[in-house]
Amino acid sequence: MTNFWRPQFNRAKIILKHLKDGKTIDFGSAGMRDDGGKESLHQNLMDNHNGGIIGVDIRPSDYTDVIADLDKPLDMFANDSITNITAGEVMEHLKRPYEFLKECHRILERGGRLVLTTPSAEGVQLLMGRESPYHYFTWTEKNLKYFCSSVGFKIIHSQKLNIYYNRNLFLRGFGYVFYKFRPTLLIVLEK
């Protein structure tokens, strides 16, 4: 059971409820951890999703099936060939996020879903000066919705999660009490 003092970071449960049965690409499969950093998000998806999952990342790992630079065209995937795409904590690392979203739109079948998570520009890690130097972009919930809509996606669901890598009690409490400052955005899009 999740409680405030000992939070669970299980993004897989949240993401899985938005996926349709079918082939799924997990972009950023090497890096994301679930449940406080013990288990791979990719492994959780593989264990609990109906359909094949292809792990794609820029670096090799136990969960990477395809190595690809996500700032470049994803020519290895055909048009309208994938049912779902997950991109957990990927968008902020891309130099060309608009082109990445266009590629996701191209390879998703009609009615296919894209589930993104990314740090919130309003989140506590930014307020406390803890943003990563490896992040090129950050978004507010409103700006990310507009950005995704401009590519042609329909917004199905969005929310802010109180998932925070730093176990600082004050920061967790701040996000728990003030929704606006929760550090992680989750947005579900449909083609």
Give pLDDT tens digits for 24-58: 999 987 666 554 455 567 777 888 888 888 999 98
pLDDT at position 183 is 78
Q: For residue 176, what are the contacts with CB-CB under 8 A and spacing of at least 6?
A: 4, 162
Q: What is the pLDDT of residues 145-190, one digit of tens each?
A: 999 999 999 999 999 887 655 556 666 666 667 767 777 889 999 9
pLDDT of residue 156: 96
In this structure, are residues 10 and 32 in contact, taking their beta carbons and an 8 Å threshold? no
Query: In angstroms, what CA-CA distances link 111 with 98, 108, 146, 149?
Result: 20, 8, 19, 15
- The tokens for 39 are 């288990």
**Residue tagged 């606006």 (tokens):** 180
**113 SS3 class:** strand
Decide which of 9 and 171 is more confident: 171
Architecture of domain 11-118+139-163+186-190: 3-Layer(aba) Sandwich (3.40)
